[in-house]
Amino acid sequence: MDWGHAGGRFILLMLLANAAFVSVAAVTGLVLYLPLVLLAASLALVLSRRLVWWLSIIVFGHIVLFLQRTTEISISELVFGIVSYGYLVAYLVDRVAVRNGLLVTAAGDRPLALFFLLAPASIVPAMLFGNDLGLWARELLVLAGLLLYFPLREAFGTRGGRTVVLMTFALLAAVMAVRNIVEYGARLDAIRYAWELVSGRQTAGEPLFMAMVVWSGASLGVASRVRSKAVSLTAFVLFSLSLAATFSRGYWVGTLLALFIVVVLLRKQERMRMMAILSLVVVGGVSVAWLILGDRFGAVAAILMSRLFSAGFALEDVSFLTRLEESRAVLAHIAGNPVMGYGLGAEFAYYNPLRGFTYTNAYVHNAYLWLWYKLGAAGLLVFLALYLAKLKAGLFMIRHLEEHRALGVTAVALLAGMMVISLTSPQFYARDSVLIIALCWAVLASVPRASGVPTE
């Protein structure tokens, strides 16, 4: 930041925000959290001078949300929220009101701005239909994670900024991967029956592993140096094992689809290199797994194959039938109010055959229906317009890209794969997926400028 006249106004803004936090804490009786609020606000002020540092802390700080999946807000989550969302607001105010900058510069930015006018406006139907305003705020905060695209795009304008933030993301994914593998390995020792292989699965971090598998696969095709190939190969093996341990069919299918898109988008020589290396990886991986698992190898392989191919027999799967019943209930509500929607925080009831009773929930596995139900037809159409605009710009860009090809191809493949996964596993409002989407958008907006290629 320029710490002249603009810096003075920014400090004043931070002091006013800090005063507001203190006032709210005092009025609500949460005086106990005042030192925490002051510390978080001070940290945000210090980090504001180093955008890349702040983004790295926010990216890795998501681990707090991934490891603690509870309905109640913990102290660590409170700190994360203050530092991340507090400074995100300050960043946007500084760039627009203080610097008079223009944020809407890339394809899809206009519908993105419109979407974030519609999302807060959903407070009107939320109040009309008596939604839980606390839940409304939490869902809005998840969507607000997409606004990280703007500071990420700015940070990615330099090679150093892009490298630091993306390496931080890789570190986050690696920590989650090692944690999952270790915990799943510990459970393997206690397994006595084949079905327990699935019951012990580790589902935290699936989108992270998917992103890293797709990136490492694309890098194997593009990389020319031995060291780069070795890093990519190690990452591919680690994150493939982590993804396998989740036993999440949707992410398996989505990852395979994204890898197929990578193969299509790569040039012929890159495509052949990637497929040759991955073929050796598969053979080697199967051999290592056989040596490690011993007598259990056949049972594990059978479970993996049956779970993967069971996705093709969805009408016989109880889990899929439950989601189908959920979608029918949501569609029935949408039919009653298709234009305005019911607002963020809206809940609905449906019969859950897995649990055997009627279940009330605000979560919808189909992300498109979730958007339509919460934000109405306008919210759904505007979001699809911005998402497809980013994807279209990426497809155009990678045809001319020489440098950073693996990043560009990965971003396009992930965005396309997430559209498919969102039919049964929502990507547009899950915190980890929202972070990945913002990263992909930032890559597609910044890499063309760094490489000097056209964006339209």
Question: In this model, does residue 287 exceed pLDDT 60?
Answer: yes
Work out the percent of the chain whose per-residue pLDDT is above 90. Answer: 34
The pLDDT of residue 200 is 47
Single-letter residue type at 104 = V
CA 45 remoteness from chain centre: 26
Closest CA to 106 of 357, 389, 336, 382: 389
Q: Give how far Cα 449 sits from Cα of 190, 199, 435, Å.
A: 53, 47, 22
The pLDDT of residue 34 is 57
* Mean pLDDT, residues 218-245 taken together: 86
Q: List pLDDT tens digits, range 193-227.
A: 444 454 445 556 899 999 999 999 999 988 878 88
Distance CA 219, CA 228 (A): 8
The pLDDT of residue 281 is 77
* Mean pLDDT, residues 33-56 taken together: 66
Q: List pLDDT tens digits, range 364-400.
A: 889 999 999 999 999 999 999 999 999 999 998 888 7
The pLDDT of residue 436 is 96
Torsions phi, psi for 102 (to 5 deg): -115, 110
* Mean pLDDT, residues 286-290 taken together: 69
* Mean pLDDT, residues 96-124 taken together: 89
The pLDDT of residue 380 is 96
Residue whose entry in the numeric block shows the structure tokens 């090809």: 405
pTM, 2 dp: 0.83
List the structure tokens of 100: 């008079």
The pLDDT of residue 340 is 92
Distance CA 410, CA 414 (A): 6
* Mean pLDDT, residues 419-445 taken together: 92
The pLDDT of residue 53 is 83
Task: For residue 84, name the pLDDT band (cuts at 50, 70, 90).
Answer: confident
Query: What residues contact residue 108 under an 8 Å CB cut-off, 6+ apart?
Result: 385, 386, 387, 388, 389, 390, 393, 441
Half-sphere exposure of 351 (CA within 13 A, CB side): 3
Residue 214: other Cβ atoms inside 10 A? 27
The pLDDT of residue 111 is 95
Task: Enumerate the domain spans of the chain.
Answer: 1-102, 151-316+365-451
* Mean pLDDT, residues 245-258 taken together: 86
